[in-house]
Structure 1
Amino acid sequence: MRKRRKKTGFLFVLVFFAAICIGQPVLAAKVKAPTGLKADYDKNYIKLTWKKVPKARGYVVYRYSSTAGQYIRVKSTRKNYHSMSGLPEGTLYRFKVKAYRKIGGETYYSKYSKRLQLRTKKQKTKKVSTIKKYLKSAIQPLGKVVYVWGGGWSTDGLGGSTEARSMGVSKKWTRFFNAQTKDYNYINTQYQRHDGLDCSGYVGWTIYNIMNTKSGNNGYVMSAKDMARNYASRGWGKYIKRASVKDYKPGDIMSSACSDCGHVWIVIGECKDGSVVALHSSSSQGVQLSGTVAPDGRTKSEAAELAQKYMEQYFPKWSEKFSHRLRDEKYLSHFCQMRWNVSGKSIMTDPDGYQKMTAEQVLNDLLGPLKEEPEPLPVPEPEMPPETQPETPSQPETQKVLEMQSQVKTEE
């Protein structure tokens, strides 16, 4: 009996210690939920911060999605803050954060933090620019800035590099452009963010310069594929899917999400043959005017000829370094569109009637007329050979004829 009791007691102690040993990692893995979640935000920018959690290896930020009907994962980070830019203004957001730690190859998460709800500020519908001023700003870097992959971007969530959030053309850009030769290759300068602009860096800089009067505010640089939709969501204009694009008006912003395009550009205008003059920062060549093919595929389009002539006449340094490229039919079929609202109910107006102008009229007004090509000298008519020239009567012979005519009349 005693032996049986001893055996039972031993088993109880063994099970007790085993339970403690097994449960110990689970208890040790517990991590507290983050506290102090708050936000600093503006019309299109949010920075979340929270207190650090002891022993936490990192944090996961969640945002409520009305489409999914639940909180979805936004970002995993080891820092106790997270920034987001390029957000639609006046939009309601709800956030929660979890902390996590890893033990023995397993990841353990805390409970959610308390919910943080906010609405991004809404910009007043103050008219800040016109289509003409906007395009006049857009041509400032034309022929002066090279294409740099990642140029104009930032990693701090402020919507662009220091230069892309500054008024006017950066001297760093022009110095870098002047130092390049015709052998320039953007592959060798990737992520030299302060030396030039890629396509979205350029468009973001242009928008910044019409929306601000001083440098240093939050910018508008984001993925090229998102620009048309994002800008339209701010109430600036109408978003048009690529299948519904019917025409092109000065100032339109064209974005493509295609894997073989991934580009954004600004419309200068449409030509009579349907081809379009584009203003953009294109790989290896930089900020330039380009012409598309005509809708029927003709390569000798009015836009291509117009763009080349203007670049050669007004930007000779660029033309000496780089060659002109015709833009294929993808520019007319693969891009979504944001058309500015100029009705007076948004931030843009068009008192100069730019949206009714052709590409040639817009360029003539922005840059000036093209030089007229000299008319060819008239080709002199060949002189008739001497033997074929009619003889002209001499004066004595003429007098003799008159005397004979007079004599005939007298006889009559």
Structure 2
Amino acid sequence: MPEDTPQTTDLADLLAYAKEPLGQVMYVWGGGWNEEDTGAGTESRHLGLSPAWKTFADAQDATYDFNDHLYEIHHGLDCSGYIGWLLYNTFETKDSQPGYVRLSQEIGPFLEKKGYGTMIAASDIQNYEPGDLLANTEHIFMVLGTYEDGSLLIIHASPPGVRICGTPNAQGETRSQAEVNAENIMQTYYPDWSAKYPTCSTDFSYLTAYDQFRWNPDKLPDAQGFRKKTADAVISYLFSSEN
């Protein structure tokens, strides 16, 4: 294993860390990046959540507009900042190591080059598994699971903040199983957040316009078999009393 290759952990760790910023981190353009806007900043090369994120989130209300807080990089995370923070907390064991924040479309190829998995073009995607990263030049998100109607339950940093959302179903119809369940999850576990920011939907492009990064099981093992579990089973694990 190359010297700069982080230690191998389990898919369960990735999923558990993904949950930590939910309901307490706002979407901030440039959040997670350094001052030079060239890579990972201090917060995304740190184990755990920055206390400043929750302080900033608590001060916001339903009128929050990320356009009013562009490049306030210490107040929250943008989409690639969130995924970079997530990867750092999953694979690293101490602060201030080289980070994972890159442009959204560059994170998957970066991981592929390190041997962590394989990139799959949007037109060649056959299925989705928990932990898959989906990205294009505009955005990046992580899959939590799929539903029978073809909709995806996802987690991402998207205005107004880090949240669980659902895509339309395979026919592009809204009020999909994933959308309804995303709303229920946020309302149940993050009621204050949900009251201010109730929207948990995405558009059909999330199923058509994103390339996929699929983890190599040798690099990110799955001892509990999450890759074959339903979205509801993943959520049950994440919100069990032990996690």
Task: Output the CA distance in 2 between the equivalents of 1:164 and 1:230.
Answer: 17
One-letter code aligned to 1:171:
P
Which residue of 2 is the match for residue 330 of structure 1? Answer: 205
Task: Output the CA distance in 2 between the equivalents of 1:246 and 1:225.
Answer: 20
2:139 to 263, 275, 288: 263
Task: Output the CA distance in 1 between the equivalents of 2:155 and 2:148.
Answer: 18
Contact 1:158 1:218 in 2 (8 A): no
Contact 1:127 1:349 in 2 (8 A): no
1:365 to 218, 237, 243: 237
One-letter code aligned to 1:245:
I
Shift of 1:196: 0.2
Q: Secondary structure at the match of 1:289?
A: strand
Q: Kindly report which structure 2 residues correspond to 1:4-403, keeping only aligned pairs within 5 A, or say none.
A: 122-123=3-4, 128-155=8-35, 159-257=39-137, 262-283=138-159, 285-342=160-217, 344=218, 346=219, 348-368=220-240
Q: Secondary structure at the match of 1:129?
A: coil
Q: Secondary structure at the match of 1:254?
A: strand
Contact 1:200 1:224 in 2 (8 A): yes
Shift of 1:320: 1.6
Q: Secondary structure at the match of 1:313?
A: helix
Report percent identity of matched pairs. 36
One-letter code aligned to 2:42:
T
Shift of 1:127: 5.1
One-letter code aligned to 1:275:
S
Contact 2:183 2:198 in 1 (8 A): no
Shift of 1:242: 0.8
Residue 158 to residue 326, structure 1, CA distance change in 2 (3 Å): closer
Task: Output the CA distance in 2 between the equivalents of 1:324 and 1:255.
Answer: 21
Shift of 1:179: 0.6
Task: Output the CA distance in 2 between the equivalents of 1:334 and 1:229.
Answer: 17
Task: For CA contacts below 8 A with separation 6 or more, give which structure has more relative contact order.
Answer: 2
Task: Output the CA distance in 2 between the equivalents of 1:149 and 1:127.
Answer: 30
Residues 216-240 of structure 1: per-residue CA shift (max 9 Å, x gap):
1111101012112221221001110
Residues 122-163 of structure 1: per-residue CA shift (max 9 Å, x gap):
545x75211111110111001110000111111458831111
Shift of 1:300: 2.0
Contact 1:308 1:324 in 2 (8 A): yes
Q: Which runs of 4+ in 1 moved over 4 A?
A: none
Task: Output the CA distance in 2 between the equivalents of 1:274 and 1:215.
Answer: 39
Residues 1-53 of structure 1: per-residue CA shift (max 9 Å, x gap):
xxxxxxxxxxxxxxxxxxxxxxxxxxxxxxxxxxxxxxxxxxxxxxxxxxxxx
Contact 2:122 2:211 in 1 (8 A): yes
One-letter code aligned to 2:83:
V
One-letter code aligned to 2:145:
G
Residue 208 to residue 230, structure 1, CA distance change in 2 (3 Å): same
Contact 2:7 2:91 in 1 (8 A): no
Q: What is the aligned length?
A: 241
One-letter code aligned to 1:312:
Q
Q: Which ranges in structure 1 are unaligned for 5 or more consecutive residues?
A: 1-89, 91-120, 370-412
Contact 2:45 2:99 in 1 (8 A): yes
Shift of 1:213: 1.1
Provide the alpha-carbon RMSD of the alignment.
Answer: 1.7
Task: Output the CA distance in 2 between the equivalents of 1:127 and 1:163.
Answer: 20
TM-score by length of 1: 0.56
Q: Which ranges in structure 2 are unaligned for 5 or more consecutive residues?
A: none
Residues 273-317 of structure 1: per-residue CA shift (max 9 Å, x gap):
11001100002x100000000011221211001111000000112
